Homo-oligomer: A and B are copies of this chain.
Amino acid sequence: MPIQKPDIILTTDIVLFAMYYGELCVITIKRDKEPFAKQRTLPGGFIRYGETSMDCAIRVLKDKCSLQDAYIEQLYTFDSPGRDPRGNMTSITYMATTHIDQLGILNNLNNCQLTPLYALLGFDHNQIVEYALQRLRNKLHYTTIISTLLPAEFTLSELQNYYEILLNTTIDKRNFRKKFTALDLLIDTGNIRKGLKQRPAKLYKFKSTDIEEITLW
């Protein structure tokens, strides 16, 4: 029935985004085996029998990156010949977003690190990161996906700052606040951030943990 040789291999690779010191980063792992030994690549693995690609992606993130909670969605399936020198590897890739609080302390023991987007990665993984970045940027415009990158409570300035970094723009402070309060997505937690040598800021959180459809710009 199938006209396939048995050596088609299914793998998963995950682009896990998190903000780190004011920069959008991805989790990468330093390989110890060939091919691309000592180079950094995206976390990934072989899909096991009886496991879906989503199961596999979640397992890999838990095992390799000690990830507790994240938003995750399927990105794209890469299968161009030659993308892996070992042979015919099809990778069902996922995009995930989280906050560093959800990452186990980034121990260099398992070679897992947050790296900037311009870092050179092995295999075709820079291409996968590029694809994920586009997806993320698109979703920022019409969903509340930013909530998955933010800490539990945040100030309006932090929220604005995240958009400015992720979309590489500048936004007028008053217009931003007007827009966001009109959307009615946030609630005032009652908490304030003080201790800084400036006026204390109100802390907000999203009313819902769901990712909702909105229109921004």
Residues of A in contact with B (beta carbons under 8 Å apart): 1-6, 8-10, 46-50, 52-53, 74, 76-77, 79-81, 88, 90, 92
Contacts and interface: CB of A to CB of B under 8 A. Distances in A.
A2 B90 CA distance: 13
A52 B89 CA distance: 10
A8 B8 CA distance: 8
Contact of A77 (B4, B49, B74, B80): B74
Contact of A49 (B5, B52, B92): B5
Specify how many copies of this chain sit in the oligomer: 2
A48 B7 CA distance: 11
Given A2-B9, A52-B79, A79-B92, 16 more contacts: A2-B46, A3-B48, A4-B10, A4-B46, A4-B47, A4-B49, A8-B10, A8-B47, A10-B10, A49-B88, A50-B81, A52-B80, A53-B77, A53-B79, A74-B76, A77-B92
For A1, A2, A10, A92, which residue has the most chain B Cβ atoms within 10 angstroms?
A: A2
Contact of A8 (B49, B74, B77, B80): B49
A15 to B, nearest CB: 16
Across the A-B interface, give the 6 residue pairs with the lowest CB-CB distance, nearest first: A6-B6, A5-B49, A77-B77, A2-B46, A3-B48, A77-B92
